[in-house]
Amino acid sequence: MTAINPVEPGRSRDRILEILLKSEGPVPVQAFAAALCISRNAAHQQIMTLQREGLIEPATAIRTKGRPSQGYRLSPAGKGTFPRQYALLARQLLEELSAHLGPAELRAAMQRIGLSLADSLRSGEASDPEERVRLIAGLMRDLGYQSRAVESEDGPEIEAHNCVFHDLAMADQSICEVDLALLRSLSGQTVEHRRCMARGERSCRFAFKPAKPTA
């Protein structure tokens, strides 16, 4: 009979995540131990490590003949470790919109997306404009922009060294309207797009000015 070799330690975490991804319900520790050909204690250690990393979470207890066993499931962060072609889908969606909307309509659609995003992110607002810009830079970092608030001769600015829409903006700079509408809405100010990576510059940079009063 061919011996079944245990899964290598470096592969155990990947197999646990894969098992949970494919499972229709919570999975107990003993099931991982059996699938990985390792001891229950070793499986439990792997589970605790993944739980501390926020990749899995306890689920409902599983009834057995003896004591109920703790079940585990993937957390949203754990599901996010598996490849997803968001960029490819977003590119196709942008191309489809471009084919059916004129340039002005496309920019207006991107602005609406930016406003909707701002509404979903909005929480408390600082009364001081400079503090508000720092808070917005933090929100952008949470979205993946690698942004920071910087001082310039004529007021606060936000500099971003990573644009979450970079590939899309390289194809069509109308996508930048999402950022501009987002920043205008969150800051309540006029926003000037001083640098843009889609134009070949090393970062995106946004300056904030008091909004012009409406007539």
DSSP state of 175: G
- Cα 211 to Cα 100, 133, 136, 175, 185, distances in angstroms: 32, 14, 17, 22, 11
Q: Which domains does the chain have, with CATH numbers?
A: 9-79 (1.10.10.10), 86-210 (3.30.1380.20)
Buried b / exposed e over 57-77, threshold 16 CB at 10 Å, is bebeebeeeeeeebbbbbbee
Q: What is the pLDDT of residues 105-122, one digit of tens each?
A: 999 999 999 999 999 887
58 bridge partner residues = 72
Q: What is the pLDDT of residues 42-80, one digit of tens each?
A: 999 999 999 999 999 998 776 666 677 789 999 988 888
pTM: 0.65
The pLDDT assigned to 184 comes to 94
Q: What is the pLDDT of residues 120-132, one digit of tens each?
A: 887 666 678 788 8
Nearest 5°: phi and psi at 69? -100, 140
Contact criterion met (CB below 8 Å) for 155 and 207: yes
Average pLDDT along the chain: 86
**Single-letter code of the amino acid located at 53:** E
